[in-house]
Structure 1
Amino acid sequence: MSCSNGLSQVASTLSTAAWVCAQLPQIYNNYRRQSTSGLSAGFLALWFLGDVLSLTSCVFNSATLRFQLWLAAYFVANDICLAWQYWYYGNRPGPGVYAVARSPRNSSSSTDTSRSAVVASVVASAARVGAMPLANANSPVDSHSDTIGVTLAWMCTVVYMSSRAPQLYHNWRRKSVEGLSPVLFTAALLGNVFYTVSILTDCQFRQPGPRRWQFFVKELPYILGSSGTVVFDAGYFYQRWIYRKVDDTVIMDDL
């Protein structure tokens, strides 16, 4: 029985586009504002660790497609760029991260907004399961390498999903989501939804018998990582709704 991967390929392309388009504007914004003083080193470390694990899993997983390996490397390059910005701009003085919740709106609001937006960039990008590989049925099987790749994928999934909770807690403490770009979180949500769809509509997932089960087991960490972070994205949008009265005077600064 013939099977077409057309829908899976379209969904994968849309997922990739969402992630690629989400990050570069934030890096430019950091450069334009010359500030990353609101960036948490903990968030950055989790993000970088997740992307490095993702890249490493691509290297060891025999099913990885070449473009997915390059995509994972691209995300690590973005991490390095933001890490450099964090180091370069990190010693510049500015108001604390909680100033937004304690001081009136004034000329410092835009600066504080840019710092919080950097944190948003880290957390949103930390859900980038689109960097992970889809299985390639034509690839040779190397059970040892595949075991390493799948193990790294599970580690990557745990790191990605864990990185979201601290940001939601941070928002709750401030009673504000000012500076967290809805564009970034929308891109994260769409990227993960499309990535999940690309897996579930792949021909191998629709095959009967043990082949389907083997594919499912290999892709399970990717499915959980992508679909699971959607829940945390929804939590951000819920917080944005309940804190809207606090943030409505600067809402356009976040776009």
Structure 2
Amino acid sequence: MLPLSSATSIEALSGICGSISIACWVVVFSPQIIENFRRSSADGLSLEFLIVWLAGDVFNIIGAVMQGVLPTMIILAVYYTIADIVLLGQCFYYRGLSGSESTKPPEPEAGRASSSSETATQTVLSSERTPLLHNRPEGEHNGSNSRPAAKQRRESLTSVASLRNHLTAVDGTHLSPAVPLRKEVADTPPRPSSTFQIIAFNAFSITLVCAAGILGWYVSATSRKRHHKGHDIPKSDGTLQFDITGQVFGYLCALFYLASRIPQLLLNWRRKSTEGVSLLFFLFACIGNLTYVLSIFAYSPVCQGKDARCLPGERQSIYGRYMAVNASWLLGSLGTLFMDLAIFSQFIMYRSKNECNNN
């Protein structure tokens, strides 16, 4: 374990956590976008959740610019907004398709053919039950009355011929007792992934992303050391100022981030399911928020004295000002972390219930 009393170790811990957080937030939307594409549906996500989250991203950009945070964080904030818009557009696209397909489907051809053939059969059978010669008085069976009887016979023969032509034109495979009207579905539904498979896949994905974050920090630190010939130039914290406008937008961002999870929690609770929601989506969000908070807490103040030596109480003063400047982002990340843990608990709870019902 790194000795946290060392300024170099604290700076390295902050850099590693920050790099892992950036890596998680870069890929956070990808699992959900892939899940929606695979299912051709986005009914598992709450639109209110995405809209409120997008509002939080917008306030995050404004607050980051006003407060003067690192350019990397501003670029990431813009990236989050673009990715959120893509996910929101995907939801509107699939919900638009499902809305257009919700109209009443046309009657199947087999059903129409069956009903029409039944109607024709009933017509002919009724005509066949009608005697060709009606019961008439004996005096009426003469040459003048034989013409209607012959006409009726011709009409009956015509009806039989038309029925024969109609049945020939209609696909009569469904009329056979050996062939059912609707084909039975022989394909069994795909077996859902086991709990072990889900855990293994998610653990591998998280490990890969965290490794990419650590590698990014190592490359960046090595490059920086080469430029400064083995040691970093101390940076002054005099530019760490408390901007009121930036703080207002920062707290608005935190408020929207916290409120965004509530519609998704309610949707999962009403459906008693998390189907259609990617577990990795919220796992990456949890890890990204956690490592972001750790990167803020792991801060080593740089004092203004000779050789960066601190006067009594100077380190605590600089650290306190630093935490006050980042308080809104800390509140948003910590609060969202607990809300994401609540959604994660829904994954476990509803999956356990579904497995019990299937058994």
Tell me the TM-score normalised to structure 1 length.
0.71
Would you say how many aligned residue pairs link Structure 1 and Structure 2?
213
The CA deviation at 1:89 is: 3.0
Q: Which of 1 and 2 has higher RCO (CA within 8 Å, sep 6+)?
A: 2
Whether 1:221 aligns to 2:318 is no
Q: Which residue is 2:149 aligned to?
A: none
Paired position in structure 1 for 2:85: 80
Instruction: Quote the residue 2:51 is aligned against.
Output: 45
1:238 to 2:345 alignment: yes
SS of corresponding position for 2:53 = helix
Q: Which stretch of the first structure deviates more once superposed, 156-165 or 18-27? A: 18-27
Percent identity between matched residues is: 33
Q: Does the 8 Å contact 2:45/2:277 carry over to 1?
A: no
| Native 8 Å contact 1:22 1:187 kept in 2 | yes
Alignment of 1:17 with 2:23, yes or no, is yes
Query: How many Å separate the matches in 1 of 2:55 and 2:282?
Result: 20
Gaps of 5+ in 1: 97-105, 111-135, 250-255
Match of 2:7 in 1: 3
**For each residue in 1:8-41, what CA deviation from the matched residue of structure 2 results, as whole angstroms up to 9, or x when unmatched?**
0100000111111221243244345443355433
Which of the residues 202, 205, 210 maps onto 2:317? 210
State the one-letter code of the partner of 2:81: V
How far residue 177 of structure 1 moved from its aligned partner, in angstroms, is 1.9
> Partner letter of residue 213 of structure 1?
G
RMSD: 3.3
**What's 2:295 paired with?**
198
Which has the higher Rg, Structure 1 or Structure 2? 2
CA separation of 1:237 and 1:141: change in aligned 2, threshold 3 A: closer
Asked if the contact 2:57/2:80 (under 8 Å) is kept, the reply is: yes
Residues of 1 paired with 2:240 and 2:352: CA distance? Answer: 55
1:51-77 residue CA offsets vs partner (Å, 9 max, x unmatched):
011111111112x11111111111111
**Quick one: which amino acid aligns to residue 59 of structure 1?**
V
Measured after TM superposition, the shift of residue 219 of structure 1 is: 1.1
1:127 match: none
Distance (Å, rounded) in 2 between the aligned partners of 1:52 and 1:30: 24
Alpha-carbon deviation of 1:216?
A: 1.3
* TM-score after normalising by structure 2: 0.52
Question: More deviation in 45-54 or 86-95?
Answer: 86-95
Q: 2:245 aligns with which of 141, 144, 148?
A: 148
**Paired residues of 1:8 and 1:201 also in contact (CA < 8 A):** yes
Matched, 1:66 2:75: no
Say which of 168, 180, 183 aligns to 2:277.
180
- Does 2:265 align with 1:168? yes
Q: Partner residue of 2:225?
A: none
Q: 1:30 to 1:225 in 2, by over 3 A?
A: same
In the TM superposition, what is the alpha-carbon distance from 1:3 to its structure 2 partner? 2.8
- For 2:86, the aligned partner's letter is C
